[in-house]
Structure 1
């Protein structure tokens, strides 16, 4: 029992600082309006590095680790985007890279994309994500938009903000581009 208690305390002491640390740059946006648990947001232009097929995270991680034409290492940012079919994934580039331009990829099936400014609707939830949580929050998002006469324009996207090692206060979102006039 004593060994178990000491082990548990040691694990907590090691993981709490990592779980509470959040120095990752987060993609900027402005909350325009809140409707129940849904935020209407404006996102300025951003640079994304995208890929599809298998090992999506690995390909994107290689890109930011220097597997690009400039051999430039790029800081990890948040969120990580996934499309609904889970076939595509994207990393948001830091604002400094967006301003200067992202290096061309070396890797196969990796591309750099500059997104136009856009309005989106987003709903947030915590914990580790899974398909049932994603489905539930997608349904809530769509129902809220329909009840308020807001038209969804794009595909559903799933956003993850945290390292898989973060245990507490995890942030996930379901997002969709919308037709919105300020």
Structure 2
């Protein structure tokens, strides 16, 4: 079940983050590290009502932040549309639940949330060397629309968007 995250979820989320960071390091992906994301990022997402967790039997299977906040770097991307968009941020799947469709479920939820809010356009980005997320976005029908320098990282981030069909 996907629900809004609460402050009680932060410790479980941070455990998923720690495992994810170690896994990313194992294949030289430095998108996330000890400095980002931190608990304060998730606390702000929760306070804004933008963080959602996929929970099963009191265990968080994954999480995603969905809101209208676009980094300033998005201003220089040639997006497919000028429509108002919802943006997918900080998404991860608990390593105990990988390859079980959790990420796809979170993306479907993001689409449904956007449509429920009268928005039929999604944007997101990920580090160019984050092969798993790049593959996931493409598999789910996102279009690669550009790249940007972001968060002081050495390599570019890839920007994706998707115009959502109203008949999900």
Q: TM-score, normalising length from structure 2? A: 0.30
Which structure is larger by alpha-carbon Rg, 1 or 2?
1
Structure with greater proportional strand content: 1
Determine which structure has greater relative contact order: mean sequence separation of CA pairs < 8 Å that are 6+ residues apart, divided by chain length. Answer: 1
Q: TM-score, normalising length from structure 1? A: 0.28
Structure with greater proportional helix content: 2
